[in-house]
Amino acid sequence: MIEKILPVVRNQHLLLCTLLICNASSTEALPIFLDSLITAWGAILISVTLILLFGEIIPQSVCSRHGLAIGAAVSPFVRVLVWIFFPVAHPINKLLDLLLGRGHVALFRRAELKTRVNFHDNEAGKGGELTHVETTIIAGALELTEKKAGHAMTPISNTFAIDINSTLDRVTMSLIMDNGHSRIPVYYEEQTNIIGLVLDISPCVLMIAMR
């Protein structure tokens, strides 16, 4: 889908001008056409209703959920519109490029991204596309520049560790399972003297070892 949309949106100002010209033309032409068929107030009522319903409400509601798929599907039709309205849209496009610059991209600030991630997190249990775990990972990545290494560390006094001479018997295995860590520090004589780690102790291995 991205491959179909990118060539169309690459020239942003030209696409914007084309779509706005088409929108304005249809908005102005519909009541004029209806005025020749029915009374003036009827033409206004029907045109406003049709434009709001089929030009604003329904498209925005559907595209908010399936915008990428719809954009890919109608991209050939949009290409035709760009070609038809090119004589009018191109001069405006060049003027906008001159005044605003070509290829500028609207980027989100960090706070805006966090807000969007939080919104997805709130919708995670209601059929949203992102799970709670995924939104937590994204939010954590956005906060990395604001954190120090100490924020991600656990004080040595609060860690669960085992002595290098400990026997991996039922009692030790029970302690490891109760703490639930996949990496257990191993120390020699003093808990601050960490000499290694016991890695990837899965619950299945612990249960087998305890039998």
pLDDT bucket at 40, cuts 50 / 70 / 90: confident
The two tokens of residue 95 are: 């003027």
- Kindly state whether residues 87 and 8 are assigned to the same domain: yes
pLDDT, tens digit (0-9, with 9 covering 90-100), for 88-108: 888 988 888 888 777 555 566
- Kindly state whether residues 71 and 34 are assigned to the same domain: yes
**Predicted confidence (pLDDT) at residue 181 exceeds the cutoff of 80:** no
pLDDT (average), residues 57-65: 80
- Kindly state whether residues 40 and 57 are assigned to the same domain: yes
pLDDT at res. 210: 47
pLDDT (average), residues 24-34: 82
pLDDT at res. 104: 59
Q: Please state the three-class secondary structure of 84-147 as a single string.
A: HCHHHHHHHHHHHHHHHCCCCCCCCCHHHHHHHHHHHHHCHHHCCCCCHHHHHHHHHHHCHHHC
Q: Is residue 204 part of a domain?
A: yes
> What CATH number corresponds to the domain at position 166?
3.10.580.10
- Kindly state whether residues 118 and 89 are assigned to the same domain: no
- Kindly state whether residues 193 and 125 are assigned to the same domain: no
Mean pLDDT score of the chain, rounded to an integer? 79
- Kindly state whether residues 119 and 190 are assigned to the same domain: no
Cβ atoms within 10 Å of 8's Cβ, excluding its own = 19
- Kindly state whether residues 18 and 52 are assigned to the same domain: yes
**Predicted confidence (pLDDT) at residue 179 exceeds the cutoff of 60:** yes
Tokens 């001069």, located at residue: 91
Q: Is residue 49 part of a domain?
A: yes
Query: How many domains does the chain contain in total?
Result: 3
Cβ-proximal residues to 95 (8 Å cutoff; 6+ apart), any chain: none
- Kindly state whether residues 39 and 75 are assigned to the same domain: yes
Taking the alpha carbons at both ends of the chain, their separation in whole angstroms is 54
pLDDT at res. 105: 59
pLDDT, tens digit (0-9, with 9 covering 90-100), for 105-146: 556 677 777 777 777 767 665 656 677 788 788 887 887 777
- Domain around 91: 2-100
- Kindly state whether residues 96 and 137 are assigned to the same domain: no
Q: Is residue 73 part of a domain?
A: yes
Q: Is residue 105 part of a domain?
A: no
Could you give the CA distance from residue 183 to residue 159 in angstroms, rounded to a whole number?
A: 11
- Kindly state whether residues 158 and 89 are assigned to the same domain: no
Q: Is residue 59 part of a domain?
A: yes
- Kindly state whether residues 6 and 92 are assigned to the same domain: yes
- Kindly state whether residues 10 and 60 are assigned to the same domain: yes
Q: Is residue 141 part of a domain?
A: yes
